Copies of this chain bind each other. A is one copy, B any other.
Amino acid sequence: MKAAILGATGLVGQRFVQLLNDHPWFEITALTGSERTAGMRYGEAVTWRIETGLKEEIAELTVQPSNPKEIDADIVFSALPADQAIGIEEAFAKAGYAVVSNASAHRMAPDVPLMNPEVNFSHLKLIDEQRHTRNWDGALVTNPNCTTAVLSLSLKPICDRYGVKSVVMSSMQAASGAGYPGVASLDIINNVIPFIKEEEEKVQRETRKILGNVGQSAEFNVSASCHRVPVIDGHTEAVFVQTAKPAKPEQVADCMAEFSAEPQELKLPSAPERPIIVRSEQDRPQPRFDRNEGRGMSIVVGRVRRDPVLDGVKYVALGHNMVRGAAGCAILIAESMKSQGYI
């Protein structure tokens, strides 16, 4: 299948390029960029910031404008900034494309699935309603923001087995989450920035939409405090959970480690063998050593222990913000859509 990447020169766009490069189902056929870069060689237009390097055949592609009429693709991945995403993504869906977007623009729209495939695979069926309502043949599906992707996956087995009554989450987020050039070195070397614009609001509402039923957010509350730390890739999250039923830390660790869902059953190409890897060492997970587990699609959880305040459990979760938290998640969504006949 032919895949286009909208906003391919940004950091998330680059991750799409990297992850689709050897993909068994999807082949990159179009890369779009801003007016400034349209017409340039991709290799010239992009400031490539991924450590594994850019393949020469991709570098040779010509950057196109984000115009549905000029693109040849079966599936469209959007790494557009939120403000541009609104109009462009709708235009593509209206033109019949299946659009999977990393942008926040449409995430909370009632007829747009906000998908983290292992967590809410069944929400895909919202596409039928969307097609009906919006009267288009295309589709518009979104992935969650990077922090929510990690958090919601870690919560899923607890929700299923013990129920969740409330969640407090404090994040230590990587610089790559802010794109490129993004965070200035003078702001983050030897420093912590205790603020990421709109991030807490996104985490608080997206987590509930993903873990809820179609059309109905989950009933528990989420309180987030989001912080930027001097790390290139990998978001670390301290999570405190009040469970509905009593749950011992070992039980929670076990249900996380055993967790598996539709993407694993369907053996989707980007589905990690184990969505959640639980480590027993007292000092893990750590971004530098754990972010690439499951080729960046697994999250790693450690330090599952009793929480004396919420009368539940607390733990530390880590995931690769650019893979599980962005491009990788979107690709897994596309694979899920294809497996269900939506593409």
Contacts and interface: CB of A to CB of B under 8 A. Distances in A.
A297 to B, nearest CB: 15
A190 B190 contact: yes
A295 interface: no
A17 interface: no
A245 B295 CA distance: 48
Contacts of A225: 170, 238, 240, 303, 314, 316
A184 B191 contact: no
A187 B186 contact: no
A193 B223 contact: no
Interface string A161-192: 00000111010100110001111111111111
Interface string A223-239: 10101011110001010
A302 interface: yes
Interface in A316-330: 316, 318
Nearest to A284: B194
**In the complex, which range does the number of interface residues on chain A fall in?**
35 or more
A230 B232 contact: no
A273 interface: no
A24 interface: no
A283 interface: yes
Interface string A37-80: 00000000000010111000000000000000000000000000
Given A172-B229, A194-B238, A194-B284, A223 B188 contact: no
A202 to B, nearest CB: 14
A172 B192 contact: yes
Contact of A166 (B183, B223, B282, B309): B309
A302 B195 CA distance: 10
A172 B225 CA distance: 12
A287 interface: yes
Contacts of A166: 309
21 contacts: A49-B186, A53-B289, A168-B168, A168-B240, A168-B309, A176-B186, A184-B184, A188-B189, A189-B232, A191-B289, A192-B229, A192-B236, A193-B283, A194-B236, A194-B283, A194-B302, A194-B303, A194-B316, A223-B314, A227-B238, A232-B288
Interface of A: 11, 49, 51-53, 166-168, 170, 172, 175-176, 180-195, 204, 221-223, 225, 227, 229-232, 236, 238, 240, 282-289, 292, 302-303, 307-310, 314, 316, 318
Given A192-B229, A223-B240, 6 more contacts: A170-B225, A190-B190, A192-B231, A194-B284, A194-B303, A225-B238
